[in-house]
Amino acid sequence: MYDNNMPQIKSLSNLLWSFEANIGQKDELVKFLTRGKGYTAFFTPTEVVLTLVQDKAEDRPINKREDFMNHNKKEPLEKQSIEHNILRMKMEGANPDTEIIGEEILEGKINYFIGNDPEKWVTDVPTYEKVRYQEIYPGIDLLYYGKSRQLEHDFIVKPGSDPGKINLSFEGSEKIEIDDGGNLLIQAKKGDLKLLKPVAYQNINGTQQEIESFYEIRENGNVGFLLGEYDRDATLKIDPVLVYSTFLGGSNFDWDKGIAVDSAGSAYVTGFTYSSDFPTTTGAYDITSNGVDAFVTKLNASGTELIYSTFLGGTEYEEGKGIAIDTAGNAYVTGLTNSSDFPTTAGAYDTTYNGNGDVFVTKLNASGTGLIYSTFLGGIELDLVYGIAVDSVGNAYAAGLTTSSDFPTTVGAYDTTFTGTGDAFVTELNASGTGLVYSTFLGGVNVAEAQAIAVDEAGNAYVTGLTNSSDFPTTVGAYDTTFNGGDYDAFVTKLNDSGSGLIYSTFLGGSDYDWGNGIAVDELGNAYVTGSTRSSDFPTTADAYDTIYNGTGDAFVTKLNASGTGLIYSTFLGGVDYEEAFGIAVNDEGNAYVIGYTYSSDFPTTAGAYDTTYNGNGDVFVTKLNAGGTGLIYSTFLGGSDFEWGSGIALDSAGNAYVTGLTNSSDFPTTAGAYDTTYNGNGDAFVTKFSFVPSVPDCRLVV
């Protein structure tokens, strides 16, 4: 049997990406090995051998001897897998006497108990976080490590050394090419590899400067790097962890509030801008600033240019608060407006401004050139909106806060009577934007505010937010039917598809201030909620990642079962200072991706994450929890030397995360070739894409 006795003191990502020393369990040429999804990597002095296995070992029972490459037989490396499943990355011209060492030893040991002869067992195999080839080329080290589900390697080039010496060949490949995005594609018979385009930068006197870098396929078919001019006495990093990262803004204040992504990997963002020179595109719906406007921007999949970008507003104040898209690429945008001349369309549900601040719901066509529909939504007092979702037939669901007793409701809706100083509302518009499918209040005698909304395949709406009403409506058998005290509790409510009743409704909180800011739903109907809490007794579950309140205010992540009767997991997420989470998304495996901001230098990060060091004055965090909520798969800071705020997160079908928000940092990290790598001043929006897709390997060069 194979026995991995690694204690649970590291994150899941570290367990997946440990490097195992060879102390007799493998061919003597192998110095270290690691296993990833669909491959095993063997590290020898002059090459890295990847065995690409169509019948993945990790998907079969762990007591099968063949799963572990015939450990007791110690067969030569080339006989341990089918020949056409092997890809060899050879370091041509490398030092054959290079010393390969493990770095950052882990607590866990691995034991191989193969066969009945104890003399052939191999026990107490040490594991490491990193493997280093020392002086693989003159003045150049090669370092391997894991980042989330990716195996990565750095070439570390000492001052005065020549990175042109790096010369890689790929034996077992059928074709090598560089795609339009600058990625290196390696085609093999039983698996293709992608090496993401290198991104290079140097820190010169505390300022990040970008360096051009490209893969080069040489005449003999080998691969190296092409670099632009750089300071040979300073550190150069070629870093592909961020697929792209870009500023988005003009010369005044700009803030992204919401993000969505389509099947092609294009990102759609909305927010608001004070900048008359906010970037727009020729032919877009509105390229003229009207003051403080909402905006809608679509970036291409590589983040290098705008597909379209438009203002959206009237002569007064607007904010875009949320965005969703349908399968045709139409963008549904909601926000708030103070403009009586906010653009509406003929036949829309409400074309007349109601006064004191209205909600708007606008559907933009796929090219961004025109409005399919646009409508006001509100009453005579202030109305605010925070979230939007779209179902499979194109109906749009909006949720927020109204102080208007005459906010529009529909006959048969759950609650048609305004009950307090401010009620939450949930409204469904039909696909043409001409009428309401349903619209309901949701609240008690005090304030209730809906902060986020999600919709399942059956058309049920899930809403989270905050309330200080002890009589906020809950349902029999729900997880928590009693207000917990303090200033506010979070709530989670599921409405049926007609909006006529509550499937469940529950409080969520402790004895202090708690509020829900983000919600997502998986295919089983489980609701994932995130927000912030100041309650040391906020409910957590026994085996959750963090059951102890950390300080001034923590983020939380909670998963409710489909009936709303109990918590599947609930965890704090934070450090000694203040955190707040605003967005959450869930992949098909049930992993939750969360974005927010933190003031804690000890906010939990994972080894090998993009940025494990707090940058000061408030950073964005991006965290991925495992499906059980027991550990972090990935967690990183994202920011520069000034303040950042993370507002929204979305996933594509491959599990890449797209995040957006606000930065005040001129040194906020951007990537070479991104749409805008220069801070525009006074606060910019940003859009950043993280790759979580298994790929082997990614590379960066440090000079």
DSSP class of residue 538 equals -
Q: In 200-330, where do the E strands start and end?
A: 200-204, 207-211, 213-217, 223-227, 236-238, 242-248, 254-261, 267-273, 293-299, 306-312, 318-325
**79 — phi, psi (to 5°)?**
-100, 0
d(CA 295, CA 275): 11
| pLDDT at residue 2, rounded to an integer | 25
Task: Give the strands of the sheet with 579-586, arranged side by side.
Answer: 579-586, 592-598, 619-625, 632-638
| pLDDT at residue 235, rounded to an integer | 53
Element (H, E) at 16: helix 12-16
pTM above 0.85, yes or no: no
Q: DSSP string spanning 548-574? A: S--SSBEEEEEEE-TTSSSEEEEEEE-
- The Cα angle at residue 550 between residues 547 and 552, in degrees rounded to 5: 135
| pLDDT at residue 173, rounded to an integer | 84
Q: Which of 168, 197, 152, 184 is nearest to 36 (CA)?
A: 152
- The Cα angle at residue 543 between residues 541 and 547, in degrees rounded to 5: 60
What is the dihedral sign for C-alpha 462, 539, 632, 526? negative
- Please say whether the beta carbons of 236 and 199 come within 8 A: no
| pLDDT at residue 164, rounded to an integer | 83
| pLDDT at residue 418, rounded to an integer | 97
SS3 65: helix
d(CA 358, CA 349): 13
Q: In 605-683, where do the E strands start and end?
A: 619-625, 632-638, 644-651, 657-663
Query: Please, is 33 exposed, middle or buried when counting C-beta atoms within 10 Å of its C-beta (0-12, 13-18, 19+)?
Result: buried
46: which 2 tokens? Answer: 């002059």
Divide the 703 residues of the chain into consecutive groups of 10 and give the mean pLDDT of each group: 26 53 86 77 88 45 31 37 64 90 84 76 87 90 72 76 85 85 75 67 56 84 83 53 87 97 96 98 97 97 95 98 98 98 98 97 98 98 98 98 98 95 97 98 97 98 98 98 96 98 98 98 98 98 97 96 98 97 96 97 86 93 95 92 97 92 95 91 96 48 46
d(CA 317, CA 361): 15
Residues 6+ apart with CB under 8 A from 59: none
- Please say whether the beta carbons of 32 and 22 come within 8 A: yes
Q: In 412-511, where do the E strands start and end?
A: 423-429, 436-442, 448-455, 461-467, 489-495, 502-508
- Please say whether the beta carbons of 580 and 556 come within 8 A: no
567: which 2 tokens? Answer: 């918590």
| pLDDT at residue 100, rounded to an integer | 94
**Residue holding tokens 């529950």?**
506
Q: Which of 34, 13, 299, 150 is nearest to 692 (CA)?
A: 150
d(CA 539, CA 567): 9
Residues 6+ apart with CB under 8 A from 681: 251, 252
| pLDDT at residue 87, rounded to an integer | 81
CA distances to 108, 127, 411 from 4, in Å = 8, 10, 61
d(CA 385, CA 588): 28
d(CA 604, CA 627): 18
DSSP class of residue 229 equals -
CA atoms within 13 A on the CB side of 65: 10
- Please say whether the beta carbons of 170 and 176 come within 8 A: yes
> Maximum Cα–Cα distance for the chain, whole Å?
85
Element (H, E) at 498: none
**Residue holding tokens 């001409």?**
434
310: which 2 tokens? Answer: 């438009």
Q: Name the residue type at position 80.
A: Q
d(CA 622, CA 633): 11
Q: Is the peptide bond before 697 cis (omega within 30 degrees of 0)?
A: yes
SS3 684: strand
| pLDDT at residue 197, rounded to an integer | 72
Residues 6+ apart with CB under 8 A from 663: 247, 639, 640, 642, 643, 644, 645, 679, 683, 684, 685, 686
Element (H, E) at 15: helix 12-16
| pLDDT at residue 696, rounded to an integer | 39
d(CA 255, CA 148): 29
| pLDDT at residue 7, rounded to an integer | 25
- Please say whether the beta carbons of 625 and 592 come within 8 A: yes
| pLDDT at residue 594, rounded to an integer | 98
- Please say whether the beta carbons of 359 and 396 come within 8 A: no
- Please say whether the beta carbons of 152 and 22 come within 8 A: no
- Please say whether the beta carbons of 140 and 163 come within 8 A: yes
Cβ neighbours around 229 below 10 Å, total: 7
DSSP class of residue 485 equals -
Q: In 37-167, where do the E strands start and end?
A: 39-44, 47-52, 86-91, 99-112, 122-137, 140-147, 150-157
Paired residues of 603 in beta bridges: none
Cβ neighbours around 257 below 10 Å, total: 25
